[in-house]
Amino acid sequence: MKNNFFIVFIFLLISNINASELFKPLEKNKAYDKKIINLGRELFFDTMLSKNNDISCNSCHNKYGADNVQYSKGDKKLVGMINTPSLFNLNHNIAYFWNGRSETLKEQLLDGPIFNKHEMANDKHTIEERLKNSKKYHNLFKEAYNESPSFEKLVDALVEYEKTLLTLDSKFDRFLREEVQLNEAEKKGMNLFISYGCVSCHNGINIGGNSYQKFGAVINYEDNQEVWIDRFSFTKNEQDKNIFRVPSLRNIAKTAPYFHDGSVSTLKEAIYTMGYYNTGAILNDNEILEIESFLKTLTGDLPETYAKGIIDEKD
Amino acid sequence: MQKASSMKRIDYKILLVISLSIFVLYFASNFKLKLDKFNNSYYKTTNLLNDIRYDWHTHQDILKESIIFLHFNNDKISNHFKNHKKLFNEIENNREMKQNFPKVYKSILELKTTQKIIKDETYYFMIQNAKIKNSISNLQKQLNHIDGYNQEYRMQFIEAIKIFIDAKNNFNEHQNLTQIQFDYFKNYDTDNIKYKLNFNHIKTLFYSMPNFKELYNSINQSKLTSQIDNIFITLNNEASIAKTKMKNQFLIIILIYCLFLIFIVFLIQKVKSDAKILLNLEKEKQNSLRRDFLTNLLNRNALIEDKKHIENCSILLLDITEFNQINSIIGYEGGDYILQKLALVLKDIVQNLNIQHTNIYKIGVDQFAIILQEQNHTKLQNISLDIIQQIENTHFEYDNLEIPVYIQIGISSSKPLLKGAETAILQTKKTFEKVTFFSDDFDDKANAIKNLSMLKKVKLAIKENRIRPFFQPIVDLKTKQPIKYEALVRLIDNNGKAIVPYFFLELSKKSKLYPEITKIVIEKSIEFIKKQNISVSINISYQDINDTSTVSFITKKLEENINIAHLITFELLESDEIQNYNEIFSFIDMIKRYKCKLAIDDFGSGYSNFTHLFNMKPDILKLDGSLIKDIHTNDKSKNIVEAMVLLAKKSNMQTVAEFIDNDKVDALVSKIGIDLGQGYYYSPPKDLL
A-chain CB neighbours of B138 within 8 Å are 196-197, 279-281
Of A21, A197, A214, the CB nearest to B73: A21
Q: CA of B79 to nearest chain A CA: how many angstroms apart?
A: 8
Q: How far is Cα B151 from Cα B146, in angstroms, rounded to an integer?
A: 9
Q: How far is Cα A277 from Cα A270, in angstroms, rounded to an integer?
A: 11
Q: Check residue B678 and report its DSSP letter.
A: -
Q: Given this model, what pLDDT does residue B288 score?
A: 72
Q: Which residues of B touch A (CB under 8 A)?
A: 69-75, 77-78, 81, 85, 123-124, 126-127, 129-131, 133-138, 140-141, 143, 155, 158-159, 161-162, 165, 193, 197, 200-201, 204
Q: Is the pLDDT of residue A249 over 90?
A: yes
* Residue A163: pLDDT band with limits 50, 70, 90: very high
CATH superfamily of A21-27+168-296: Cytochrome c-like domain (1.10.760.10)
Of B74, B129, B134, the CB nearest to A279: B134
Q: Is the pLDDT of residue A296 over 90?
A: yes
* Interior angle at CA B134, CA A20 and CA B185, nearest 5: 150
Query: Residue type at B200?
Result: N
CA atoms A82, A87, A89, A93: torsion sign: positive
Q: Which of residues 103-142 of A touch B (CB under 8 A)?
A: 103
Q: Do A194 and B137 touch (CB under 8 A)?
A: yes
Sequence-separated contacts (24+) of B222-225 with Cβ below 8 Å? B222/B114, B222/B117, B222/B118, B223/B114, B224/B56, B224/B111, B224/B114, B224/B115, B224/B118, B225/B56
Q: Where do runs of H (alpha helix) occur along chain A?
A: 2-15, 19-22, 34-44, 57-60, 105-111, 124-132, 135-145, 151-163, 171-176, 184-195, 232-235, 267-279, 285-296, 304-307
Q: What are phi and psi of B657, to 5 degrees?
A: -105, 125
Q: Given this model, what pLDDT does residue B1 score?
A: 43
Measured CA distances, B618 to B598, B614, B655 (Å):
5, 7, 11
Q: What are phi and psi of B654, to 5 degrees?
A: -75, 150
Q: Which of A94, A96, A191, A200 to mutate to test the interface with B (most CBs of B within 10 A)?
A: A200
Q: How far is Cα B488 from Cα B97, in angstroms, rounded to an integer?
A: 127
Question: How is domain A34-166 classified at the architecture level of CATH?
Answer: Orthogonal Bundle (1.10)
Contact pairs from chain A to chain B, CB under 8 Å: 120
In angstroms, how far is CA A124 from the centroid of its own chain? 26
Q: Under a CB-based contact definition with an 8 Å cutoff, are residues B303 and B318 in contact?
A: no
By the CB < 8 Å criterion, does A211 face chain B?
Answer: yes
* Residue A314: pLDDT band with limits 50, 70, 90: very low
By the CB < 8 Å criterion, does A205 face chain B?
Answer: yes
Q: Do A211 and B126 touch (CB under 8 A)?
A: yes
Q: Under a CB-based contact definition with an 8 Å cutoff, are residues B358 and B350 in contact?
A: yes
Q: Given this model, what pLDDT does residue A10 score?
A: 56
What 3-state DSSP class applies to A106?
helix
Q: Do A281 and B197 touch (CB under 8 A)?
A: yes
Enter the pTM of the model: 0.58
A-chain CB neighbours of B158 within 8 Å are 3, 6-7
Q: Do A197 and B197 touch (CB under 8 A)?
A: no
Q: Do A279 and B138 touch (CB under 8 A)?
A: yes
In angstroms, how far is CA A204 from the centroid of its own chain? 14
Q: CA of A21 to nearest chain B CA: how many angstroms apart?
A: 7
Q: Check residue B147 and report its DSSP letter.
A: G
Of A6, A211, A218, the CB nearest to B134: A218
Q: Indicate if A34-166 has the same CATH topology as A21-27+168-296.
A: yes
Q: Could you state, in order of their start, the residue ranges of all structural domains in chain A?
A: 21-27+168-296, 34-166
Q: At what angle do helices B323-351 and B377-393 cross, to 10 degrees?
A: 120
A-chain CB neighbours of B129 within 8 Å are 200
pLDDT tens for each residue of A169-208: 999 999 999 999 999 999 999 999 998 999 999 999 999 9
Considering only alpha carbons, which residue of chain B is nearest residue A6? B162
Q: What are phi and psi of A226, to 5 degrees?
A: -75, -45
Q: Given this model, what pLDDT does residue B2 score?
A: 47
Q: What is the ipTM of this complex?
A: 0.89
What would the mean pLDDT of A121-144 be, rounded to a whole number?
91
Side-chain-facing half-sphere of B278: CA atoms under 13 Å? 10
Considering only alpha carbons, which residue of chain B is nearest residue A216? B131
Q: Given this model, what pLDDT does residue B624 score?
A: 84
| Residues of A recognised as catalytic | 119
Q: What is the mean pLDDT of each run of 10 residues along chain B (689 residues)?
A: 52 80 86 87 89 90 88 89 87 86 88 90 92 90 85 90 86 83 89 90 92 90 90 90 87 88 86 87 78 82 78 84 79 85 86 79 86 82 86 83 83 80 77 73 52 78 89 91 92 84 79 86 91 91 86 91 91 76 88 91 72 83 85 86 87 89 88 90 87
Q: How far is Cα B410 from Cα B387, in angstroms, rounded to an integer?
A: 12
Q: Is the pLDDT of residue A311 over 70?
A: no
Q: Do A210 and B75 touch (CB under 8 A)?
A: yes
By the CB < 8 Å criterion, does A217 face chain B?
Answer: yes
A-chain CB neighbours of B78 within 8 Å are 92, 94, 204, 210-211
Q: Given this model, what pLDDT does residue B8 score?
A: 59
Q: How far is Cα B488 from Cα B601, in angstroms, rounded to an integer?
A: 13
Q: Is the pLDDT of residue A313 over 60?
A: no
Q: Is the pLDDT of residue A2 over 90?
A: no
Q: Given this model, what pLDDT does residue A266 score?
A: 94
For the CA atoms of A230, A234, A238, A240, the dihedral, rounded to the nearest 10 degrees, stands at -40
Q: Do B74 and A194 touch (CB under 8 A)?
A: no
By the CB < 8 Å criterion, does A238 face chain B?
Answer: no
Q: CA of B179 to nearest chain A CA: how many angstroms apart?
A: 19
Q: Check residue A102 and report its DSSP letter.
A: B
If you write DSSP's letter for every residue of B455-518 in order, what string do you get? HHHHHHHHHTT-EEEEEEEEEETTT--EEEEEEEEEEE-TTS-EE-GGGTHHHHHTSTHHHHHH
Q: How far is Cα B241 from Cα B229, in angstroms, rounded to an integer?
A: 18
Cα of first residue to Cα of last residue in chain B, in angstroms, is 76
B-chain CB neighbours of A195 within 8 Å are 137, 140-141
Q: Given this model, what pLDDT does residue B412 score?
A: 85
If you write DSSP's letter for every residue of B16-81 in order, what string do you get? HHHHHHHHHHHHHHHHHHHHHHHHHHHHHHHHHHHHHHHHHHHHHHHHHHHHHSSS--THHHHHHH
For the CA atoms of A79, A80, A82, A87, the dihedral, rounded to the nearest 10 degrees, stands at -110
